[in-house]
């Protein structure tokens, strides 16, 4: 039997031969993580990590029993103690669970947390949709200020600018508070009921359980019907209306382009007021790269303190795929700076000790132990783009004089044995600057 990955998951590898799979290369992920972490620091976020499984009730209570995620997509299992556990389908609920459990509210009046890691949803396999996928998420707990909603949208906007991503649209909407959403829901059901038979099968079943989700149905028949549906923002109560106006004002102050999308409602139940999504024009059907919003009731609903919160998550596969499509640049794959090729046991001993010393100085280096023909080793070094190669034989050892070959020019530079570390340190420094 030959083994392969289960459906909907993928490996992240040092090298992917197929050009369309370059987004799976590990150095690209490293680069993205570095950018995300650097930006998190600049925006004042601290890292939090939670387990990849939690008690199942946490997700049904927060994301909502009638949502697709909880209804159809969770990896839920019973452990040997008979407890129902689920692989996390998202990060917000676990982070809020930790926040409440560890009484983090006591430390300050505003908390900025970020996390990265795999999430799990049993979704139909399609491009851009995976059963294990990676999110970076950021959450701010403690204040209702609209500026914080905008800080988060600005984080995403700045991230995408730094990565060189274009062709993105920021969609925003406000879904108000629980009361005005209930009034809107009633109006929407009244409007949709006479059209029930013309709605798609999915939307027909949502009509009673989760009618707001019909608004972002992809079915053309549904879209035709919802085109004239009542508009959510017309039902906002005064304070939500004002909050939404403020969000738009602060976005304009930062000159962040956005579109108000009155049918944007999001697929998780915990949101209120601001919701937003960033959509790429280059990804086909599953084109939302980032999404989030306010969730001022969630902490209280999870039996925590009554504190407002706002957050977002980005899908890392989708970012890397969009970067690929748009040919955004990535730093070069890290390679050793120096490859030493010893000829014989005494030379191997010297190179082996030099190797340890080079590495102590963080100079990426390797010794070739293959005993292959020199021609083959040089070809390998060339293919790997290793900049410096050093063949060490008896003569070099006797004279304590090494010969450093510059692979790009073919020139050889003499280096005293006791000067190698310093020489390579300088070369590393120059390589970083170039
Ligand atoms: P979400 O919209 O469910 O929100 O997911 C956020 C992002 O994760 C999506 O926009 C997409 O890029 C990515 N994503 C979701 N499902 C998949 C999948 N099956 N395959 C690949 N990528 C996927 C949340 O998860 C909320 N927790 C966001 C949030 C944080 N709201 C407030 N704070």
105-116 pLDDT tens trace = 999 999 999 999
Query: Which two three-digit tokens encode residue 105?
Result: 């509210």
Tell me the three state secondary structure of residue 384: coil
CA pseudo-torsion sign 393, 397, 401, 407: positive
Residues touching ligand 1 (Cβ under 6 Å) are 90-92, 121, 123, 128-130, 133, 135, 137, 139, 268, 288-293, 311-313, 315, 317-318
| CA-288 nearest atom, ligand 1 | 10
Q: Which helix (H) or strand (E) holds 118?
A: strand 111-120
Question: Mean pLDDT, the chain, as a whole number?
Answer: 95
Rounded to 10°, the helix 146-163/316-325 angle is 40
The residue nearest atom 2 of ligand 1, judged by CA position, is: 291
**Vertex 242 angle, CA 239 and 245, to 5°:** 155
pLDDT tens digits, one per residue of 230-285? 999 999 999 999 999 999 999 999 999 999 999 999 889 999 999 999 998 887 77
d(CA 31, CA 29): 5
Identify the pLDDT of residue 282.
Answer: 81
Identify the pLDDT of residue 226.
Answer: 95
d(CA 16, CA 357): 32
Ligand 1 center to 366 CA (angstroms): 41
- How far separated are the first and last CA of the chain, in Å rounded? 49
The residue nearest atom 21 of ligand 1, judged by CA position, is: 129
Query: Which two three-digit tokens encode residue 166?
Result: 């274009």
The residue nearest atom 30 of ligand 1, judged by CA position, is: 312
pLDDT tens digits, one per residue of 341-369? 999 999 999 999 999 999 999 999 999 99
d(CA 77, CA 47): 28
Identify the pLDDT of residue 434.
Answer: 73
Testing ligand 1's pocket by substitution, the residue of 8, 74, 315, 317 carrying the most ligand atoms inside 8 A of its CB is: 315
| CA-311 nearest atom, ligand 1 | 33
Confidence label for 130 from pLDDT (cuts 50, 70 and 90): very high
d(CA 397, CA 352): 13
Identify the pLDDT of residue 147.
Answer: 98
Question: 338-342 and 388-392: which strand pairing?
Answer: parallel
| CA-129 nearest atom, ligand 1 | 20
Tell me the three state secondary structure of residue 121: coil
Bridge partners for 138 per DSSP? 114, 312
| CA-69 nearest atom, ligand 1 | 3
List of residues 6+ apart from 320 with CB closer than 8 A: 23, 24, 28, 29, 32
Identify the pLDDT of residue 321.
Answer: 94
Query: Which two three-digit tokens encode residue 7?
Result: 């459906």
The residue nearest atom 23 of ligand 1, judged by CA position, is: 315
Q: Mean of the pLDDT values across residues 166-181?
A: 94
| CA-135 nearest atom, ligand 1 | 8
Q: Mean of the pLDDT values across residues 7-12?
A: 96
Identify the pLDDT of residue 406.
Answer: 97
pLDDT tens digits, one per residue of 203-220? 998 998 889 999 988 899
Identify the pLDDT of residue 198.
Answer: 93
In this structure, the dihedral spanned by the alpha carbons of residues 402, 403, 406 and 412, taken in order and rounded to 10 degrees, is 150
Q: Which residue has the higher pLDDT, 1 or 305?
A: 305
Identify the pLDDT of residue 283.
Answer: 77
Q: Read off φ and ψ for residue 186, nearest 5 degrees.
A: -60, -45
| CA-319 nearest atom, ligand 1 | 12
Identify the pLDDT of residue 433.
Answer: 76
List of residues 6+ apart from 366 with CB closer than 8 A: 336, 338, 339, 340, 355, 386
d(CA 399, CA 395): 6
pLDDT tens digits, one per residue of 381-426? 999 999 999 999 999 999 999 999 999 999 999 999 999 999 999 9
Identify the pLDDT of residue 1.
Answer: 81
Identify the pLDDT of residue 275.
Answer: 98
List of residues 6+ apart from 258 with CB closer than 8 A: 153, 170, 171, 172, 248, 251, 276
Query: Which two three-digit tokens encode residue 97?
Result: 């669970």
Q: Read off φ and ψ for residue 141, nearest 5 degrees.
A: -115, 135
Bridge partners for 342 per DSSP? 392
Check whether 87 has a pLDDT greater than 90: yes
Q: Quote the percentage of the chain above a pLDDT of 70.
A: 100
Q: Report the greatest alpha carbon distance in the chain.
A: 95
Q: Is pTM beyond 0.75 here? A: yes
Ligand 1 center to 277 CA (angstroms): 10
d(CA 302, CA 59): 10
Cβ contact 54:94 at 8 Å: yes
d(CA 109, CA 91): 22
Residue with tokens 């923002």: 233
Ligand 1 center to 149 CA (angstroms): 17
Q: Long-range contact list for 1-7, CB < 8 A, 24+ apart? A: 6/131, 7/125, 7/131
Identify the pLDDT of residue 431.
Answer: 87
d(CA 312, CA 150): 11
Query: Which two three-digit tokens encode residue 218?
Result: 């992809």
Cβ contact 150:245 at 8 Å: no
Rounded to 10°, the helix 146-163/238-253 angle is 40
Identify the pLDDT of residue 307.
Answer: 98
Pick from 171, 222, 220: nearest CA to 211: 222
């Amino acid at each position: 039997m030959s083994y392969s990955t289960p459906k909907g998951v993928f490996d992240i590898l040092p090298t992917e031969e197929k050009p369309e799979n370059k987004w799976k290369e590990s150095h690209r992920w490293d680069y993205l993580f570095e950018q995300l972490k650097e930006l998190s620091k600049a925006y004042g976020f601290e890292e939090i990590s939670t387990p990849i499984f939690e008690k199942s009730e946490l997700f049904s209570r927060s994301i909502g029993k009638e949502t697709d995620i909880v209804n159809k997509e969770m990896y839920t299992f019973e452990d040997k103690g008979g407890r129902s556990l689920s692989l996390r389908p998202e990060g917000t609920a676990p982070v809020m669970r930790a926040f409440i459990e560890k009484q983090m509210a006591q430390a300050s009046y505003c908390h900025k947390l970020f996390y990265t890691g795999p999430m799990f949803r049993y979704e139909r396999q399609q491009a851009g949709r995976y059963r294990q996928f990676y999110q970076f998420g950021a959450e701010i707990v403690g204040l209702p200020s609209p500026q914080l909603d905008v800080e988060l949208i600005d984080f995403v906007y700045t991230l995408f600018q730094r990565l060189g991503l274009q062709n993105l649209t920021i969609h925003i909407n406000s879904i108000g508070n629980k009361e005005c959403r209930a009034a809107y829901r009633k109006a929407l059901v009244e409007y949709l009921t006479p059209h029930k038979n013309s709605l798609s099968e999915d939307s027909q079943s949502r009509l009673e359980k989760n009618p707001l989700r019909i608004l972002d149905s992809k079915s053309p028949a549904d879209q035709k019907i919802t085109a004239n549906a009542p508009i959510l923002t017309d039902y906002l109560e005064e304070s939500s209306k004002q909050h939404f106006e403020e969000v738009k004002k602060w976005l304009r102050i930062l000159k962040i382009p956005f579109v108000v999308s009155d049918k944007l409602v999001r697929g998780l139940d915990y949101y209120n007021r601001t919701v937003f999504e960033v959509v790429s024009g280059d990804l086909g059907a599953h084109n939302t790269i980032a999404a989030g919003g306010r969730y001022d009731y969630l902490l209280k609903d999870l039996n925590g303190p009554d504190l407002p919160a706002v957050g977002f998550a980005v899908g890392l596969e989708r970012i890397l795929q969009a970067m690929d499509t748009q040919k955004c640049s990535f730093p070069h794959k890290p390679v050793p700076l120096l490859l030493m090729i010893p000829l014989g046991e005494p030379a191997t001993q010297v190179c082996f000790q030099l190797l340890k010393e080079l590495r102590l100085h963080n100079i990426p280096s390797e010794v070739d132990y293959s005993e292959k023909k020199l021609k083959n080793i040089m070809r390998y070094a060339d293919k790997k783009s290793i900049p410096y190669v050093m063949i060490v034989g008896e003569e070099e050892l006797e004279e304590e004089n090494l010969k450093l070959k510059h692979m790009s020019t073919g020139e050889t530079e003499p280096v005293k044995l006791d000067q190698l570390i310093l020489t390579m340190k300088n070369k590393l420094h120059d390589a970083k600057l170039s």
